[in-house]
Amino acid sequence: MSVTPLVASLLFFAGFFGGLVDSIAGGGGLITLPVLLAFGLPPHQALGTNKFQSTFGSITSSYNYVKHGGISLRAAIWGIVFTIIGAATGAQVVQMVNADILHWIIPFLLLAILVYTIFSPDLGKHDSRPRWTQPVFYLVFGLGIGFYDGFFGPGTGSFWPVAIVLLLGLNLVKATGYTKVMNFTSNIVSLIVFFIGGNIVFLPGLCMGLGEILGAKIGTTLVIKKGVKFIRPVFVAVVLATTLKLFYDNLK
């Protein structure tokens, strides 16, 4: 892949918009991955390079949420540990089994999240009473969603916040912050796997990554300032776009 000044600029802006969307509601890969494929990267290299560039955005988002006091890394430590285990296991297993069944299961799960979110207008507006303890929650969802992200990936940014709101009782702003920490964790694990496999093209990934940093910084600042009313419509739009894309891919 030849990275001319024009290509570098296009990659930067794709990374910017991907980082902006991802820091607010997840789903930035819907923007960045097709761009990498359009510029001629083979699918496995596009996936690896996408993980590389998205790591820039997820670490920027995580840092911004922690810096502004929205989340506590100490409270998330068990989630980080179990997400590492889950993502590493998923990344290993996906190399040994057929993942086709997930292509059909996940769109229906995302559709259920979309319907529930639309018909629950107060979802995540305020903190509520937790239904699960943090250790149990992070054991189940750190392993489960971490495994899924290492194994397949699309929709990870939608599963985390809804689970955190419903079961830990946090508002949607805090849930989005913790989601970024878990996404960064599983991204790093997946990135290591792709790096070992030699499937990262660094120059285009770096061009996108620089855009991701700027987009993620602006996105998290908007979330922190504007709150749940700002996140909700973006979240619904991203889940809808992800669901439609997965259904479309399955029916092609």
pLDDT exceeds 70 at position 94 = no
What whole-number distance in Å separates Cα of residue 199 and Cα of residue 209?
16
Total of domains in the chain: 1
What whole-number distance in Å separates Cα of residue 119 and Cα of residue 42?
40
pLDDT exceeds 90 at position 1 = no
- Quote the pLDDT of residue 212: 96
pLDDT exceeds 80 at position 98 = no
Residue-wise pLDDT for 113-145, tens only, equals 889 888 888 888 888 999 999 999 999 999 999
Percent of the chain with pLDDT over 90: 46
- Quote the pLDDT of residue 46: 86
Residue with tokens 């006091």: 69
pLDDT exceeds 90 at position 190 = no
Dig out the tokens for 132 from the structure: 């699960």
Q: What is the mean pLDDT of residues 52-57?
A: 93
CB half-sphere exposure, 66, CA atoms < 13 A: 15
Q: What is the mean pLDDT of residues 70-97?
A: 85
Q: Say what the pTM is.
A: 0.86
Dig out the tokens for 25 from the structure: 């509601």
Among 14, 2, 1, CA closest to 207: 14
Dig out the tokens for 57 from the structure: 């955005």
Report the mean per-residue pLDDT for the chain.
Answer: 88
Residue-wise pLDDT for 32-41, tens only, equals 988 998 888 8
- Quote the pLDDT of residue 10: 95
What whole-number distance in Å separates Cα of residue 227 and Cα of residue 247?
31
* Domain boundaries, position 139: 5-251
What whole-number distance in Å separates Cα of residue 62 and Cα of residue 7?
28
CA dihedral for 37, 38, 42, 46, sign (positive or negative): negative
What whole-number distance in Å separates Cα of residue 146 and Cα of residue 234?
23
Q: Under DSSP, is residue 224 helix (H, G, I), strand (E, B) or coil?
A: helix
Residue-wise pLDDT for 4-16, tens only, equals 889 999 999 999 9
